[in-house]
């Protein structure tokens, strides 16, 4: 195991985070705060609670997930896309590192960054709406699992993308809609029965449901199903990464 | 001593169908400077890229210090440093950080003393805290060499190291390559500048259209293929080569003022003495004479043209 290489890649990626502090940490915190001001405090105060939870508090887990997903994907995809774009990838490819070590470095850094961000947003949310966390360990577990899974997903997008447009395409056209339709702002029980069925094909539903359960003990789908579906998605991403390195897809001629 | 790099029956066909390498066999000796010459698109970079792990081979094997570069890539790559042709650097990193990063990537524990030595040797020490984007092209080239040397490789690949580099840096680089060789590092360089190969290399390989046409000791190559010419400046203009001298490979210049005799410098009997005597007998006087040996450049151009 080339620990030095994992540390080098991880350190390099984290340095990039601190260098771009404004866009990597400050801007997502500000935009999420705006959600809390508008939906949590302003509109939320005129709405009934859902499942016995005030609306402002209800949307906290969903909003954290929203940031976690988009940030994990964008961190990891950019992290691997950029060396490909400028050509510095030659060094990674010619180094004595295994695919596992490369992934550990890049995905580890992307996930760390989005977990830090998620926790900052959590603290920020507390300034706007009161809430409690019933299962803090489960909360952290979901945070970790989601950050890891979607950083892997982002890594795959970064390797697949051969221009900047493609890099933006998947987050914009697929992930954002899935998150908004995944129950960030409502319980899926509020949907008509037909749409409730459709929604179950959306992987984000399971993440948000499980994450919200760790806060309030209420969920749209059972905890086991939530964890199971997240693990399935994680396994799918791992399999795809394994195939990418085995075949050299978009990495080696 | 076994070769430090052993390439066997190596072929590469790109997805586009382009046949970049055709069954290359090549052994690089430990501690030598090997120059790989060839026109653009000959396959130089493909060959280097396969050895370094950037391109997958289609067929054949490469051993680096006894380790298969595909199956045992970890041991093989740890011994190799690569300076690619393109100047690709992380614009926002500092010189110190990017060179330290390379060392870690190649699995070595931090060693600030070594990094400092590399940076000083390459006249980069004063720039160690500069961001890469603020450096000139020549300085970036030095940084890329520093990155390749950061993990103390035993084998160094320099892909067109002096392309677009000014005279001073070129001299520096040659000095650096010689100093590295003195410490036992094997160096493989590709170049367009034939005088560079002539100046630096112990052995020369010529590659053209994916085939290795020749691998030879530089001195031997120049001797073997090098033909010498004796040029005589005549006292009086000559209309034709006299009948008595028709047995010699002589050429008369268009103005009739120069007589050129081509001979093999290697042969026991060059025939110069007899020729000069016969010239005297034929009453042809000359006011000056010079001999010249064909350069590596001539040899190279002839080789590549012959196969075209």
**Residue B281 belongs to a domain:** yes
Contact (CB<8Å) A87/B86: yes
| B109 closest CB neighbour out of A4, A19, A252 | A4
**Residue B305 belongs to a domain:** no
Q: Whole-number mean pLDDT of chain A?
A: 89
**What pLDDT does B226 receive?**
62
Residue ranges making up the domain that contains B178: 5-222
> At A236, which helix (H) or strand (E)?
helix A223-247
Name the token pair of A168: 């933006």
Residues 6+ apart with CB under 8 A from A192: none
Same-domain check for residues B271 and B129 = no
| Boundary (domain end) residue, out of B163, B191, B222 | B222
Distance from CA of A41 to the nearest CA of B (A): 41
**What pLDDT does A129 receive?**
85
Same-domain check for residues B285 and B187 = no
Which chain B residue has the Cα nearest residue A245? B56
Q: Predicted confidence band at A231 (pLDDT cuts at 50, 70, 90)?
A: very high
Same-domain check for residues B65 and B163 = yes
Q: Predicted confidence band at A150 (pLDDT cuts at 50, 70, 90)?
A: very high
**Residue B303 belongs to a domain:** no
**What pLDDT does B106 receive?**
96
Average pLDDT of each block of 10 consecutive residues along chain B (308 residues)?
94 94 96 91 93 94 96 95 90 94 96 96 94 92 94 95 82 89 95 80 91 89 74 87 81 86 78 86 87 74 71
Q: Which of A132-141, A198-207, B45-54 has the lowest mean pLDDT?
A: A198-207
Confirm if B307 and B208 have CB atoms less than 8 A apart.
Answer: yes
Strand, helix or coil for residue A76: helix
**What pLDDT does A239 receive?**
94
User: How many domains are contained in chain B?
Assistant: 2
**What pLDDT does B74 receive?**
95
**What pLDDT does B40 receive?**
83
**Residue B38 belongs to a domain:** yes
**Residue B263 belongs to a domain:** yes
Distance from CA of B241 to the nearest CA of A (A): 59
Q: Is B112 exposed, middle or buried (0-12, 13-18, 19+ CB in 10 A)?
A: exposed
**What pLDDT does B293 receive?**
75
The ranges assigned to domains in chain A are 3-247
Give the torsion sign (CA, B127, B128, B132, B133): negative
* In the block, residue with structure tokens 């129950």: A183
Same-domain check for residues B62 and B194 = yes
**Residue B68 belongs to a domain:** yes
**Residue B306 belongs to a domain:** no
Name the token pair of A47: 């709405």
The pTM (predicted TM-score) of the whole model is: 0.84
**Residue A240 CB neighbour total at 10 angstroms:** 16
Query: For position B93, which CATH number holds?
Result: 3.40.50.300
**What pLDDT does B211 receive?**
93
Q: Reply yes or no on whether the pLDDT at A157 is more than 90.
A: yes
| Boundary (domain end) residue, out of B198, B222, B246 | B222
Same-domain check for residues B43 and B157 = yes
| Boundary (domain end) residue, out of B222, B243, B262 | B222
């Amino acid at each position: 195991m080339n620990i030095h290489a994992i540390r080098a890649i991880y350190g390099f990626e984290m340095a990039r985070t601190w260098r771009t502090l404004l866009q990597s940490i400050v801007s997502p915190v500000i935009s999420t705060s705006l959600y809390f001001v508008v939906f949590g405090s302003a509109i939320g105060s005129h709405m009934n609670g859902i499942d016995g939870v005030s609306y402002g508090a209800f949307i906290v887990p969903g909003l954290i997930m929203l940031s976690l997903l988009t940030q994990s994907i964008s961190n990891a995809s950019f992290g691997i896309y950029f060396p490909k774009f400028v050509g510095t990838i030659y060094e990674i490819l010619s180094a004595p590192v295994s695919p596992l070590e490369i992934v550990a470095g890049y995905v580890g850094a992307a996930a760390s960054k989005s977990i830090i961000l998620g926790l900052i947003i959590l603290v920020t949310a507390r300034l706007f709406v009161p809430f409690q966390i019933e299962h803090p360990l489960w909360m952290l577990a979901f945070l970790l699992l989601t950050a890891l899974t979607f950083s892997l997903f982002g890594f795959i997008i970064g390797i697949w993308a051969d221009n900047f447009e493609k890099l933006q395409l998947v987050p914009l056209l697929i992930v954002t809609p899935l998150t908004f339709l995944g129950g960030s702002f409502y319980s899926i029980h509020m949907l008509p029965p037909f749409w409730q069925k459709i929604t179950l094909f959306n992987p984000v539903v399971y993440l948000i449901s499980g994450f919200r359960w760790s806060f309030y003990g209420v969920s749209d789908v059972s905890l086991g199903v939530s964890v199971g579906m997240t693990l399935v998605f994680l396994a799918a991403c791992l399999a795809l990464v394994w195939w990418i390195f085995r075949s050299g897809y978009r990495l080696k001629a | 001593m076994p070769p430090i790099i052993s390439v066997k029956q190596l072929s590469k066909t790109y997805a586009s169908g382009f046949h970049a390498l055709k069954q290359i066999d090549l052994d690089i000796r430990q501690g030598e400077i090997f120059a790989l010459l060839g026109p653009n698109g000959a396959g130089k970079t493909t060959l280097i890229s396969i050895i370094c792990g950037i391109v997958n081979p289609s067929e054949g094997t490469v051993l680096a210090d006894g380790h298969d570069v595909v199956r045992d890539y970890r041991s093989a790559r740890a011994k190799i440093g690569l300076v690619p042709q393109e100047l690709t650097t992380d614009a926002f990193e500092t010189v110190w950080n990017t060179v330290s990063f390379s060392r870690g990537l190649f699995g070595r524990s931090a060693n600030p003393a070594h990094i400092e030595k590399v940076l000083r040797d390459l006249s980069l020490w004063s720039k160690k805290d500069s961001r890469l984007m603020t450096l000139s092209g020549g300085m970036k080239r030095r940084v890329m060499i520093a990155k390749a040397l950061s993990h103390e490789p035993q084998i160094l690949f320099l892909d067109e190291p002096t392309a677009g580099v000014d005279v001073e840096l070129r001299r520096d680089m040659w000095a650096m390559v010689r100093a590295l060789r003195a410490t036992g590092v094997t160096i493989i360089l590709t170049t367009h500048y034939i005088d560079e190969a002539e100046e630096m290399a112990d052995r020369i390989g010529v590659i053209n259209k994916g085939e290795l046409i020749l691998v030879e000791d530089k001195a031997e190559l120049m001797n073997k293929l090098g033909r010498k010419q004796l040029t005589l400046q005549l006292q009086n203009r000559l209309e034709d080569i006299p009948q008595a001298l028709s047995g010699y490979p002589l050429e008369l210049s268009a103005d009739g003022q120069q007589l050129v005799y081509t001979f093999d410098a290697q042969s026991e009997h060059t025939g110069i003495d007899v020729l000069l005597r016969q010239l005297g007998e034929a009453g042809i006087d000359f006011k000056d004479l010079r001999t010249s040996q064909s350069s590596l450049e001539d040899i190279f151009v002839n080789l590549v043209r012959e196969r075209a």
